[in-house]
Structure 1
Amino acid sequence: MTEPFEPAAFRTALRAWLDENDLTPPPGDDSLDAHQAQHLRALKALYDAGWMRYGWPESAGGLGGPEILRAVVGEEIVGRGIDHPGPYSMLEVLTPTMIDYARPELAAEMVPRLLSGQETWCQGFSEPGSGSDLASLTTRAVQDGDRWIVNGAKVWTSFAQYANRCVLLTRTGGPEVANHEAITAFFVDLDTPGITVRPLRTMHDVDEFCEVYFDDVAVPADRMLGEPGDGWRLAMDLLPYERSTCFWQRIAYLYSRFDALIGEVRGLGTASDSDLGEAYLALHTLRCRSRATQHRLADGQKLGPDTSIDKVLLAGAEQTLYDTVRDLLPGAVELDDGAWRTEYLYSRAATIYGGTAEVQRNIIARRLLDLGKE
């Protein structure tokens, strides 16, 4: 590709390259380990060919161009089943954070490792006692010369068992400092002594989430992201990315599963188009909203509480889709031990992960509609 980076031409060129370079996952293994291996394989091939570098600044190893090119790559990769939206989404959540908050030298060194599949990172935000109430976190970092000593625990940390590093939120201020102003972020190597990672088995029987414990973990001072007290601002800047570009990828995945559902029910002859209408309408509404968000991001607008609308629509569309699967494929959820069952169970968490539906609706009511706290 050469400048200008026009998205339609970019997509056409990417599709042609993907048609010529088969990155289809190897058949027969649907385990989390296999998904992770495929994720790293896909990233390496895309990075070596340049595709994974478009939309990222040259200062961090990118090739420049508008950010919307990243959404195009994610949609094509996830929509074709080359990668799953979960591990792929971490690129869009954590890479902008590193570029915006890390020392330029650190970002230039580390970002290419993530984008090329040399490393995997995770996000250490939620805690056993502070999930949606992020400001109440208790993991503490205390300065000790040119290092900080971290103690505490994180939970619901996606893919931590595979991660080399973690973007970690800690409390550094004393009781006299307001909750939001006492939070500081660090970029922590997960092979540092004192760190223990324990996968959690969830009801969909996949160890995607982990507990991570920090016991007297020494973190170099130059691994701080931003300045002391910048952690809350970092988190607020990160969350809109979690609810924008990576949603675009998940929507592509949900559409691919909707197409698979259509194929199965038509093969059985047990459903009409009207039976699929509610799921299609929910997905289409979500896609239209997310498209507008991608273009706001592409126009240089700063995303904020408005992305809570995207999150509410995503949760609703995902659960509606899998409710439709349960209704139209009798036994696929309750009796079969296949992908539909696993994904249906995972969809129940859609109104929880990334900020609960209740919290998102409160944000919409208070910050967008100015309805107050009552």
Structure 2
Amino acid sequence: MDLQEFRDGLDAWLGENASELEAAFGPDVTLDQEMEHLSKVKRLAFDAGWMRWGWPERVGGYGGSTLMRAYLGEALASRDMIEPGIYSMTEVLVPTMIEFARPELAAEMVPRLLRGDETWCQGFSEPSTGSNLGSLTCRARRDGDVWRVTGQKVWTSLAQYADRCVLLARTGAPESGSKGITALFADMDAPGITVRPIRAMHGRDEFCEVFFDDVPVPVGRTLGEVDRGWTVAMDLLPYERSTSLWHRSAYLRQRLGRLLASATDGALDPRDLGEAVQMAFAFHARSRGTQHRMARGERLGPETSIDKVLLATTEQTVFDLAADAVAPGIAVGDDADSDRWRTEFLYSRAATIYGGSAEIQRDIIACRLLDLGTDR
């Protein structure tokens, strides 16, 4: 199936199933319900075949261009059928599983995530090592045929729903830095794991802190080589800033369009509107180029930090515009539309932090792309 045939068939299927796939928004919609809906959308799309295109056959896919799955996420986000942030965890974690897990483990596990039968989380950040990932202290020691993991992770998205965790732990000496880290694939129902959700200012318990107390992880769940987990992390992070951001781009342009359609005359400052449109389409163009580079088989790297900086700027510009245009609703409105704009505006404040802070991204751009010095 070529890309155009895929797009035409998917668009027709989404139209036929719109009432079942469309997500609900409003103050009464909980994160539990959002997660249930996401699982349903993924299951329906997988069983209909659409979720399997763009992934290798060895993990239950149908093959084909990665642009197919990029378009699937774009189509779902632009039609209000998924929340792109939680949907895109698949794009963040699956490529790394395919690359570094044992083939039989990837073949067993990946279809479960694609179909929505499971949720996975990413255990990277720690209380004192958010941006400085190389100094993490969560430790794994070898005990026969298992690793014993002890430590803490924080800002772990969706950990309270997760069945598995792609986890970074220190296996080398404390002073070994990024060279003494190993990536593991842990079961979240293993003994010794405690998950505590964190209420964010936009009203969702999307993040969690996770405690590991002598948690057993089979050695066969090691991703990549021992003490080479930094390689796994550097492979994963560009995916976090590629296809998942393409989905976000589609969502932001959809929300900008809704704002234009609903704003009253004179509510939008022309200069602010022009800046928001410019940013939205600049981000779209940059992200589109990243999708095509990945489709050509080019390896993603530090240049995706540009995508992340553009995302953060675009997201905050769009929702700043919304805040000015519908200010009373964002401040005190209690209807579904006001609640949605308020939640999105508050969430946009974190865009310069999540997925790698804007300062760190600019440091990467300066040092690794422009050769203006060494990483701090």
Query: What is the TM-score normalised by the length of structure 1?
Result: 0.95
* Residue 324 of structure 1, aligned match among 321, 325, 333: 321
User: What is the DSSP-based 3-state SS (H/G/I as helix, E as strand, rest coil) of the residue aligned with 1:333?
Assistant: helix
CA distance in 1, matches of 2:63, 2:87: 20
Map 1:103-118 onto structure 2 (within 5 A). Answer: 103-118=102-117
RMSD: 1.5
Structure 1 residues 149 and 308: CA distance shift in structure 2, 3 A: same
Alignment partner of 2:331: what SS?
coil
State the Cα deviation string for residues 14-71 of structure 1 (Å, max 9, x = none): 1011111231235764221111011000000000001000010000110000111110
What's the CA shift for 1:195?
Answer: 0.2
Q: Deviations over 1:180-205 (max 9, x none)?
A: 11000111000001000100011111
**Does residue 25 of structure 2 align to residue 17 of structure 1?**
no
The aligned counterpart of 1:303 is 300
Cα displacement (A) at 1:329: 1.6
How far residue 335 of structure 1 moved from its aligned partner, in angstroms, is 2.6
What is the number of equivalent residue pairs in this alignment?
A: 368
Gaps of 5+ in 1: none
**1:353 equivalenced with 2:350 (yes/no):** no
Which residue pairs with 1:222 in the alignment? 220
Counterpart in 1 of 2:343?
Answer: 342
Which residue number corresponds to residue 48 of structure 1?
47
Residue type of the alignment partner of 1:182 = G
How far has the Cα of 1:330 moved from its partner? 2.4
Compute the displacement of 1:319 (Å). 0.3
Q: Counterpart of 1:277? A: 274
Per the alignment, residue 61 of structure 1 pairs with 60
CA distance in 2, matches of 1:271, 1:172: 54
Taking only the aligned residue pairs, the percentage that are identical comes to: 58
Letter in 2 for 1:239: L
Deviations for 1:149-185, whole angstroms, at most 9, x for unmatched residues?
Answer: 0000000000111110100000001246x31110001
**What is the deviation of 1:314?**
0.4
Evaluate the alpha carbon distance shift between residue 275 and residue 265 of structure 1 in structure 2; reply closer, same or farther with a 3 A threshold. farther
Determine if contact 2:122/2:167 at 8 Å carries over to the other structure.
Answer: yes
Aligned counterpart in structure 1 of residue 244 of structure 2, from 243, 246, 249: 246
1:191 aligns with: 189
Partner of 1:235: 233
TM-score by length of 2: 0.95
Q: 1:269 Cα shift? A: 5.3
What secondary structure, in the 3-state scheme, does the structure 1 residue paired with 2:108 have? helix
Alpha-carbon distance between aligned partners in 2 of 1:87 and 1:275, rounded to the nearest angstrom: 29
Deviation at 1:256, TM superposition (A): 1.4
Any gaps of 5 or more consecutive residues in structure 2?
A: none
Give the C-alpha shift of residue 237 in structure 1: 0.4
SS in 2 for 1:361: helix
Q: Is residue 257 from structure 1 mapped to residue 243 from structure 2 by the alignment?
A: no
Contact 2:268–2:324 under 8 Å retained in 1: no
Query: Equivalent residue for 1:287?
Result: 284
Return closer, same or farther for 1:226/1:19 CA change in 2, 3 Å cut-off: same
Cα gap change, 1:27 to 1:321, in 2 (>3 Å):
closer
Q: Is the 8 A contact 2:268 2:321 kept in 1?
A: no
